[in-house]
A and B are shown apart, each in its own frame.
Chain A
Amino acid sequence: MKQLTSSLATFSLLAMVLVPSALGQNEEEAIAKGLEIAQAAQDVKKGFGNYIAKQVMVLKDRKDRESKRELRVQILEVEEQGDRILFLFEEPRDVRGTALLIHSNEDQPDDQWFFLPATNRVTRLNSSGQSKSFMGSEFSYEDMNPPEVSKFTYKYLREEPCEELNCTVSERVPVSKGSNYSRQLVWHDDEAYRVWKIEYYDRRGDHLKTLTVSDYEQYLEEYWFAQTMIMTNHVNGKSTTLNWSDFEFRVDLDEDDFTQTSLRRTR
């Protein structure tokens, strides 16, 4: 009798452990693989040090009317912290010299400062919400930031050819309640974990936007950077294109070039 109870107990214990995992085995694998891809994609990007590049931002409305801006972008990798990013406007002329400095933080809201040459003053911008639109474009602030792995949960879905390569398609769900998205689908090639496409689904689960990335170039014989990023909004018919060029890597930049005082010197 005692034996029976204990074997029953063992059996039910086994059942408790085995049954859910048997049911969720594929699921678990998919989650692990998704995380693995995300981690790898982040890892391959690390170590470039810093770079300067030119960015042309073209906003298009549904009638294909355009508005254009030119910026210089400086990025500095900082170990154990987030990256430092400086956007410096060159065109249109009346905003030339306007600068936006971002210190991205892993676990708390990013720090932002801006400098308006006409006021000759640096102001700290305490703006709550990653969900803001990025400079009135179809990119939101959260789309622009290189996403920390910890900000999403992942699930590998399938493989699919993309361009001339083979891509994995993973789903990622933002952890933060403040996100505008219910989920995103990301296409990574399995050669160098480059992102080729991201589909953004709004809070209702409707397909809101698609980012397509192309014209990858390799720098420092290691790092792949895209020259063209197009964000298309399927609901309002607008799009934003980012054209990157004139990359210069490992130039003479350090943390001192990304401080409030450095903002004034940018002109």
Chain B
Amino acid sequence: MKAILNNFTDASLAHRWWFLGGVLVVVGALSLGVPKVGITSDHFVLFSDDNPQLQTFEQFEDTYVETNRVLIAVSPKQGTIYTKEALAFIEYLTEDAWLVPHATRVDSLVNFDHSEAIDGDLFVAPLVENAADLTDSDVERIQDIAQNSRELVDRLVSEDGSIAAVVINFVFPEERDAAVIEVTDYLRTFIASAQEEFTSFDLYTTGDVVLQRTFFDATQADMFTLIPIVFLVIVVLTFALLRSLFATLAVTLLVICTINVTMGLAGWLSTILNPVTAGIPVIVMTLAIADSIHIVTSTLANMREGMEKRSAIKEALHSNAFPVTVTSLTTALAFLSLNASDSPPFHVLGNFVAFGVIMAWVLSFTLLPALLAVLPLRALPKKEGTRSPFENFANFVISRRYWLLGGGVLVILLTISGVFRLEFTDNWTQYFDKRYKFRTDSDFIAENLTGLESWEFSLDSGQDGNVTDVEFLAKVEAFSSWLREQEEVGYVQTFTDTMKRLNMNMNNDDESFYRLPDDSTLAAQYLLLYEFSLPFGRDLTDQIDIAKAATRVTAAAQDGMTADELKAVASRAEDWLKENAPSLATETTGFTIVFAHLSERNIDSMLLATVIAMGLISMLLVILLKSLTMGFISLLPNYVPAALTFGVWGHFVGSVGLAGSVMTAIAFGIIVDDTTHFLSKYQLARRRGESPESAIRFTFNRVGRALWTTTVVLACGFIVFSLSGFAVTWMLGMMLTITVIFALIADFLFLPPLLLAIDRRK
């Protein structure tokens, strides 16, 4: 093994130009794939195909109508929407929204089909026609009808009339991503020009189509802003730590090559990026630098001690070969464990980061030595008489070991108690921070008009054509009423309201007939009548399946509910059905519910994977350190930092989503490096017969600086993540930053006292 390495390094140094050229050709070829990397706006990439909530939801959308919506809220700067001007503006928006690409249906209170009975005739007409010609009494009449309509209030107009909505429905072609961009680009211009022309109104937009666009924008923003920042941070840090221009150049080139190879491969494999996988380049850059820093630091140290450059490089490669290989392997292993996640983007993230880590390792032993050999590297001569600051630190830790151990345990327990305050929630409206207009607009709309989260139910009568059976309708009605009584529920959309309205209309608008018909045949005929008057672009399958066996009930949630609260209402509704209408019992579904289960499912799937990854890595450590005790001791500084982070998060933030489910596995793979370096050096000294105290001094002297350096680089790299406006990314970045810092603290302050306490053999 040693011979192979020897021959290899000799060869790489002797034929350095060939090596450089060869590596660069391979890197170049792979890099050509970079432009092939795509970006998606499909937010459903977060879910695996066999996700049961997604399957139920897809089935639901199959039965009824696929929901692709944009909601434009119109808010007059003064007064209500019940003025001629406001209604004319809404009319203009409603008409022109039909021209938005892929729009199939536009709804607002203006084109809402109002039906009323006059002298036995049934009049069905849009609520507002030719708004510009309305008289005051027309406006009054419109206000009266709108404010008393269950089908309008809280949906297309707010209760106080301060806001109205124009809802655009879309059917997208196969090329969804392109369609989303086309639609949202069009809408941006449309809204900007409407805003310019009608200055007395504010416009807000939300809906899943805008969410998808924001998904795309966030991916792009993260790619284009985070990467340069991380790059800059890395170059500056490397220079600060290495104090050599050419060494920094070598490391920078290595990072550039690693990132190009990784993203190039991603491109050749036609990888489509999303906000989660947009993190790949940043993570790879941050991790790639560690290997090379170890090697360059050693080379410079060797040269400082008077070695000739080539032997200095060779020695550096030899002394680092083992630890760098081990840490690369453990890191790659941890990232590969992300394949167990229920969320496919994390598989892609895990695999490409693992590949990037391995590539960084390969390049550190091929490209890096060749580069160092070629560049005119110079080392500053060693200053005489300076003692390593880490030796003083080691002495401090050894003398205060009981305080540190006791205090450490106390601090750890207190911090970890925060874990119980953690709440797991993924809320699609809160996935993006306030720099995105989607978020601020959605917040405004949720607060003032309608909650954006909703529960969907498909109630099945069990037989084709039976949706108009009066017994079935009565149960649907009872369920809808029950939903309306729940304080968490905003508006409820149910077909029984339409039935009741038709029954009233057919009885000369007598309000005592605002109830379900008592004859199934009559109900069936009302349904047909309803179909006679359906507006263009709308068919019955919006509310009733094609076989007329089932109908849909939609309940909108009040603003600001957590995933747990949303799930609680869902299960209460399911229980109600089981108890009161067992034949209608169904699973709650909807976009909201799919998201509400996302974190939970991911935590379940990642839990086992994390435990397996940790077990494998710990076993690896036991084998490498050739000591069971050391292996067990290593567990503490490896496990505790992630637990501490969750504790801190629980105390100070509270809610955590998708990021939390993968954080432990990722953090573990990274921080295990520190422990490995620390314990292997400690073990080395102990094997040489040194006492635990002197072994700790030796360890701090040898790896103190390297651990400190890599932690600074990692923390600075990951903190850049927290600049992302995408919740999963910034949370992951914050948590990883906190964890690597905790890991260093644990290795420096807690591990040595622990070793001194446990490792007492002579």
Q: Which residues of A line the B interface, CB within 8 A?
A: 59, 61, 63, 65-67, 89, 92, 94-95, 98, 100, 114, 116-119, 121, 123-129, 131-133, 135-137, 140, 180, 202-204, 206, 235-236, 238
Give the CA-CA distance A133 to B531 in the complex, in Å.
8
Shortest Cβ distance from residue B519 to the other chain A in the assembled complex, whole angstroms: 6
Surface stretch bound by A, among B158-166, B537-545, B697-705: B537-545
Whether A204 contacts B101 by the Cβ 8 Å rule is yes
Whether A136 contacts B539 by the Cβ 8 Å rule is yes
Whether B541 contacts A61 by the Cβ 8 Å rule is yes
Whether B99 contacts A92 by the Cβ 8 Å rule is no
Q: When the two chains form the complex, which single residue of B101, B539, B547 contacts A133, counting CB atoms closer than 8 Å?
A: B539
Give the CA-CA distance A235 to B541 in the complex, in Å.
15
Whether A98 contacts B535 by the Cβ 8 Å rule is no
Give the CA-CA distance A174 to B109 in the complex, in Å.
26
> B126: which A residues are within 8 A, CB to CB?
128-129
For this complex, 29 residue pairs linking A to B, each with C-beta atoms less than 8 Å apart, are A61-B546, A67-B546, A92-B524, A95-B525, A98-B525, A116-B506, A116-B525, A116-B526, A116-B529, A118-B519, A121-B120, A123-B120, A125-B121, A125-B122, A125-B532, A125-B533, A128-B124, A128-B126, A129-B126, A129-B535, A133-B531, A133-B538, A136-B534, A140-B536, A203-B99, A204-B101, A235-B102, A236-B104, A236-B171
Give the CA-CA distance A59 to B529 in the complex, in Å.
17
A123-B120, A236-B104 given as contacts; is B525 within 8 A of A92 (CB)? no
Whether A92 contacts B546 by the Cβ 8 Å rule is no
The total of chain B residues at the interface (CB under 8 A) is 42
Interface string of B504-522 (1 = CB under 8 A from A): 0010000000000001111
Which 6 pairs show the lowest CB-CB distances between chains A and B?
Answer: A94-B524, A118-B522, A136-B531, A124-B121, A116-B525, A127-B124
Q: When the two chains form the complex, which single residue of A92, A123, A131, A206 contacts B535, counting CB atoms closer than 8 Å?
A: A131
Give the CA-CA distance A56 to B121 in the complex, in Å.
29
Q: When the two chains form the complex, which single residue of B103, B122, B520 contacts A94, counting CB atoms closer than 8 Å?
A: B520
Whether A126 contacts B506 by the Cβ 8 Å rule is no
Give the CA-CA distance A83 to B330 in the complex, in Å.
82
Whether B529 contacts A132 by the Cβ 8 Å rule is no
A100-B532, A140-B536, A235-B104 given as contacts; is B122 within 8 A of A123 (CB)? yes
Whether B104 contacts A135 by the Cβ 8 Å rule is no
A61-B546, A67-B548, A117-B521 known; 18 new pairs, CB 8 Å cut-off, are A63-B62, A95-B524, A95-B525, A116-B506, A123-B120, A123-B506, A124-B120, A125-B124, A127-B533, A129-B126, A132-B532, A132-B536, A133-B539, A135-B531, A136-B534, A204-B101, A235-B102, A236-B104
Shortest Cβ distance from residue A233 to the other chain B in the assembled complex, whole angstroms: 9
Interface string of B397-441 (1 = CB under 8 A from A): 000000000000000000000000000000000000000000000
Whether B125 contacts A132 by the Cβ 8 Å rule is no
> A59: which B residues are within 8 A, CB to CB?
546
> A180: which B residues are within 8 A, CB to CB?
536-537
> B396: which A residues are within 8 A, CB to CB?
none
Q: Which A residue's beta carbon lies closest to that of B124?
A: A127
- Dominant SS among interface residues on chain A: loop
Q: When the two chains form the complex, which single residue of B120, B533, B540 contacts A132, counting CB atoms closer than 8 Å?
A: B533
Shortest Cβ distance from residue A65 to the other chain B in the assembled complex, whole angstroms: 5
Q: When the two chains form the complex, which single residue of B122, B528, B534 contacts A98, counting CB atoms closer than 8 Å?
A: B528
Shortest Cβ distance from residue B117 to the other chain A in the assembled complex, whole angstroms: 8
Most chain A CB within a 10 A radius of its CB, from B103, B123, B129, B532: B532
- Dominant SS among interface residues on chain B: mixed
> B101: which A residues are within 8 A, CB to CB?
204, 206
Q: Does B689 contact A (CB under 8 A)?
A: no
Whether B171 contacts A95 by the Cβ 8 Å rule is no
Whether A126 contacts B547 by the Cβ 8 Å rule is no
Give the CA-CA distance A139 to B506 in the complex, in Å.
26
Q: Does B468 contact A (CB under 8 A)?
A: yes
> A116: which B residues are within 8 A, CB to CB?
506, 522, 525-526, 529
Shortest Cβ distance from residue B494 to the other chain A in the assembled complex, whole angstroms: 19
Q: Which B residue's beta carbon lies closest to that of A140?
A: B536
Whether A126 contacts B529 by the Cβ 8 Å rule is no
> A118: which B residues are within 8 A, CB to CB?
519, 521-522, 525
Give the CA-CA distance A123 to B526 in the complex, in Å.
12
Q: Does B465 contact A (CB under 8 A)?
A: yes
> B524: which A residues are within 8 A, CB to CB?
92, 94-95
> B465: which A residues are within 8 A, CB to CB?
92, 94
Instruction: List which B88-130 residues lie within 8 A (CB) of chain A.
Output: 98-99, 101-104, 120-126, 129
> A67: which B residues are within 8 A, CB to CB?
546-548
> A236: which B residues are within 8 A, CB to CB?
104, 171
Interface string of B336-358 (1 = CB under 8 A from A): 00000000000000000000000
> A127: which B residues are within 8 A, CB to CB?
123-125, 532-533
> A140: which B residues are within 8 A, CB to CB?
536
Q: Which A residue's beta carbon lies closest to that of B111?
A: A129
Shortest Cβ distance from residue A202 to the other chain B in the assembled complex, whole angstroms: 8
A127-B124, A132-B534, A140-B536 given as contacts; is B171 within 8 A of A117 (CB)? no
Shortest Cβ distance from residue B411 to the other chain A in the assembled complex, whole angstroms: 60
